[in-house]
Amino acid sequence: MSKSLNIALLGNPNTGKTSLFNSLTGLSQKVGNYPGITVEKKEGICMLNRTTKGHIIDLPGTYSLNASSIDESVVIETLLNKTGKDFPDVSVVVTDVENLKRNLLLFTQVKDLGIPTLLVINMADQMKRKGISLDIPVLEKALDTKIALISTRDNKGLEVFKETILNYRKFSTDPSISIETIDKEYFQNLGKAFPNQSIYKLWLVVTQDVNFIKIDRKRVSDATDFKTVTPSYLKRLQQKETIKRYQFINNVLKQGLKVDRESATDLRSRFDRVLIHKFWGYIIFFIILATIFQSIFDWSSIPMDFIDSTFANLSETLKNKLPRGVFTSLLTEGIIPGLGGIVIFIPQIAFLFLFISILEETGYMSRVVFLMDRGLRKFGLSGKSVIPLISGTACAIPAVMATRNIENWKERLITILVTPFTTCSARLPVYAILISLVIPEGSFFGLNYKGLMLMTLYLIGFGMALFAAWILSKTLSIKSKSYFVVELPNYKIPLLKNVGITVWEKTRTFVTEAGKIILAISILLWILASYGPGRNFNEADQIVLQNYPELNQEEMEIKVNSYKLENSYIGILGKTLEPLISPLGYDWKIGIALISSFAAREVFVGTLATIYSVENDVEDTIKNKMASEVRANGEPLFNLASGISLMLFYAFAMQCMSTLAIVKKETNSWKWPTIQLFGMTILAYIIAFLTYQFLA
């Protein structure tokens, strides 16, 4: 029977912690949230030997255990909660060989908790180029720990790492420094107040307000001095602790680290002079964006066409092979078209995440954050707001959660309120199908119109986010002042394994999460579209025959299906809504798609696929079905005016109910998500109305 070890991975951002996690776990990893909190939790399984497997928890990146955000407090809670299922048997602190001094601060804090701790020094392949040499035995003795020197890029040192982990019981758990020497009187009082407790753990509880060590402070009678210290005094003690730790680290590195600056070769400063230049930096970023959006359309067209025709053929085949009945109709008119409406966009979603992953892996994304900070302050946003705004291109939910690292409440609130304007990946399927329908073929200076239109929609969303932020900064009466600090990591060649795992995980999550919603909504829509009240629905055959006796059998069947759909439950709902949306250029079917896509934006295409399949027994691709839709006057339903109007409506409307829920959770009030919902919907309606009226 195999044993299991809980292994916690910790480290500063950009030390290669995620690369090590990916190298150890591969695809046997899962992503979720910590119980009761919207912080991403990554865990995976790694076989350490034939009888022992490691349950590896990738904790959020942190510079120290002096937490200033919810993400960082999760690290402390995991390390202190001995009864928790994620409490580590051994902790692994991942460091970067070039920033060892800064990284070791976290290591000394974790080791002082009394948890067996392994120090991993990553990026060993960079040592020669950086002129760095390490004396590992000397460092191990000075730090009183075991050290694993690895390179996740070259896949070196991982077997030694696993062997070392298996001997974790032999690791020293003696503290690196004596915390009591910082202020003997204070820590003596702390020890008296809570006897038989680790002084350093208590210190973390006091300073970070971690509330699951069950200590009743009020019942302690002799801790007056401990209870009455001011927050500013605690801050001074934290500063003294940090100074003491760095004194220890400096002495250690004097013995075991040497840097030969003359032999070091580094092109980082040369690249930075161009990539974060106040003029050329923006030009380069614009060119990169244009390239990405061109590629999304050009590279994905062949697999998309294949998927589209495959689902159409599958529906046709099953309809001919299976006996007629409710199940066959549900399968061929509801489930398959609905799922086809999301699977078709896997290539575009995969390419989007591919490019985002490459930009992050190379270190360029941090430069974009730094570059954009210069302009964002004019709009009342923090430089840290760039991270949520850029994250919003994947999904608004983690983007809103990412605002937690913005300390200032006003800037955080503004960022939360405007982030849904940035175009998320769920909007991409809507944009893609509409652009392919209404934007003509052709190019401008070598850039095709379709790719340019997609980039324009992304820029419009980002521009509206900035405009809304400027309005809110002037109208919200909250005074604030903050500072922006961002680390510019070294440039790296992307690890193909990391990029591949990221694309796989993100695409799989997108498909599975969207698939659940789409499957449920497709079934619901099929039921609403296949049944209806009263004579008009139940006697559709006779009514159509009476009014259109000249039709042949095929035309009669199409007319009956269309008449039934209009008088079904979903048709009645759509017809009721139609007067409100017809000035925007939409019919009642688009109205139904608008409502259903509030569950998830990508449901829009699946909804229309389901409705058109119920209406017409002739199987065809969703793109062809949408292209053949006509108005009462015979004009195409999806033309330039209605297509642009619909794209702009989706660009400015609130994204989905999940985004509303997360905004409520992050602001702890229904006030702000309600303002978001009505404000963005009204704005979207007005802009879509003006666009259609102008272009029609």
> In the predicted model, is pLDDT for residue 225 greater than 70?
no
- Portion of the chain with pLDDT greater than 90, in percent: 11
Confidence of residue 495 (pLDDT cuts 50, 70, 90): confident
pLDDT given for residue 608 in this prediction: 76
> In the predicted model, is pLDDT for residue 222 greater than 50?
no
> In the predicted model, is pLDDT for residue 217 greater than 50?
no
pTM check: above 0.85: no
Confidence of residue 119 (pLDDT cuts 50, 70, 90): very high
The rounded distance, in Å, linking the Cα atoms of 377 and 497 is: 37
pLDDT given for residue 487 in this prediction: 62
Each domain of the chain, given as residue ranges in start order, spans 3-170, 179-263, 496-695
Residues sharing a CB contact under 8 Å with residue 483, sequence separation 6 or more, in sequence order: none
> In the predicted model, is pLDDT for residue 534 greater than 60?
yes
The position carrying tokens 């776990």 is: 25
pLDDT given for residue 183 in this prediction: 85
The rounded distance, in Å, linking the Cα atoms of 332 and 335 is: 6
Cα-Cα end-to-end distance for the chain = 71
Rounded mean pLDDT, 581-604: 81
Closest listed residue to residue 7, CA positions, set 65, 47, 66, 35: 47
- 45 vs 660 pLDDT, higher one: 45
Q: What is the mean pLDDT of the chain?
A: 79
Q: Does CATH place domain 3-170 in 3.40.190.10?
A: no
Rounded mean pLDDT, 466-487: 72
Rounded mean pLDDT, 31-51: 68
What is the tens place of the pLDDT at every residue in 616-654?
555 566 677 777 888 877 788 888 999 999 999 999 988
What is the tens place of the pLDDT at every residue in 409-465?
788 888 889 988 988 777 877 888 888 888 888 777 777 788 888 888 888 988 899
List the alpha helices (DSSP H) in 167-279: 184-193, 199-208, 224-227, 231-256, 268-275
Question: Would you call 148 helix, strand, or coil by DSSP?
Answer: strand
> In the predicted model, is pLDDT for residue 680 greater than 80?
yes
Closest listed residue to residue 101, CA positions, set 69, 146, 71, 132: 132
What is the tens place of the pLDDT at every residue in 317-349?
887 888 887 788 778 877 787 677 667 767 877
Q: Extract the runs of DSSP E, i.e. beta strands, from 239-357.
A: 257-259
pLDDT given for residue 218 in this prediction: 39
pLDDT given for residue 88 in this prediction: 92
pLDDT given for residue 219 in this prediction: 37
